[in-house]
Amino acid sequence: MKAPPDRRAAIGDVLLSVEGVSLAFGGVRAINGVSFDIRKGEIRAIIGPNGAGKTSMLNVINGFYHPQHGRITFRGKTRSKMRPYEAAEGGIARTFQNLALFRGMSALDNIMAGRSLKMNSSFFWQMLRYGPAMTEEVEHRKKVEEIIDFLKIQDIRRVPVGRLPYGLQKRVELGRALAMEPELLLLDEPMAGMNIEEKEDMSRFVLDVNEYFGTTVALIEHDMGVVMDLSDRVVVLDHGEKIADGTPDEVKSNQAVIDAYLGVAH
């Protein structure tokens, strides 16, 4: 009865592409001439062994790191480097490998913080909580409540994030990223440290985000089962270089990838 999930039909043009990007910290080459693209509406996985440069790649995309070489094209605009505010305003949101939440604030306030870019009223009015600022806050609160409903975290709305278990903190962080209504969502190991049930929940959320909000997702993940199930295309990095790019099946059978993961006799 369920229609065949023809998600590929919904996948459109290139949303973001990186070309020949290289990044070095002093003498250490983190990324070496990597090129790939992310299409609108797809779930794109970036995988690779430890130290392959995956997180660095995400940091380049949202402007935390500035690459020495190469170009980044986002929504048709080409830059040699991204700046964090350009990324944020352009609709790129992310979550972090080691949570970066405001631990003393409630789940609700943390997600509300994700709306700050969308607030128009001035600091002065917001401080007074009066007039247009009030109307605006109500609008934003509504959006935030939709996200809370979406992620099924109604019961922890008022709980300080620091008191929540890890799996729920991850969910709140995803909520904050979603609050930006991003076009491109970068997830850095969204399932690290989770048990199977939490992983399944999180996978469902990632798929739902992609389907429900039409958000393009780029994720780094170590759990191969998750990666192969979720993603439309996978790019594999090893020692800062791209060694494979393609559908999960293509990547799985790629000899270079197998060598990178299992090691190879020299």
Nearer to other proteins, 94 or 170 (CB): 170
Taking the complex as a whole, the smallest distance from the CB of residue 227 to other proteins amounts, in Å, to: 21
Nearer CB in complex with other proteins: 2/77 = 2
Burial 40-77 (b: 16+ CB within 10 A, else e): bbbbbbbbbeeebbbbbbbbbbbbebebeebebebeee
Give the CA distances from residue 59 to residues 23, 63, 94, in Å, rounded to whole numbers and listed in that order.
Answer: 11, 6, 10
The reply on whether position 5 binds other proteins by CB under 8 A is yes
Q: How far is CA 79 from the centre of its chain?
A: 20
Q: Which stretch binds other proteins (CB under 8 A): 70-78, 88-96, 206-214, 251-259?
A: 206-214
Residue whose CB is less far from other proteins, 87 or 107: 107
Regarding 212 and contact with other proteins (CB under 8 A), the answer is: yes
163 binds other proteins (CB under 8 A): no
Q: Does 208 bind other proteins (CB under 8 A)?
A: yes
> Which one of 68, 116, 154, 255 is in contact with other proteins (CB under 8 A)?
154
Least Å distance, CB 31 to other proteins, is: 37
Shorter beta-carbon distance to other proteins: residue 87 or 153: 153
Instruction: State the Cα–Cα distance between residues 186 and 155, nearest whole angstrom.
Output: 26
By the rule CB under 8 A, 155 interacts with other proteins: yes
Positions that interact with other proteins (CB under 8 A): 1-3, 5, 141-142, 145-146, 148-150, 152, 154-155, 157-158, 208, 211-212
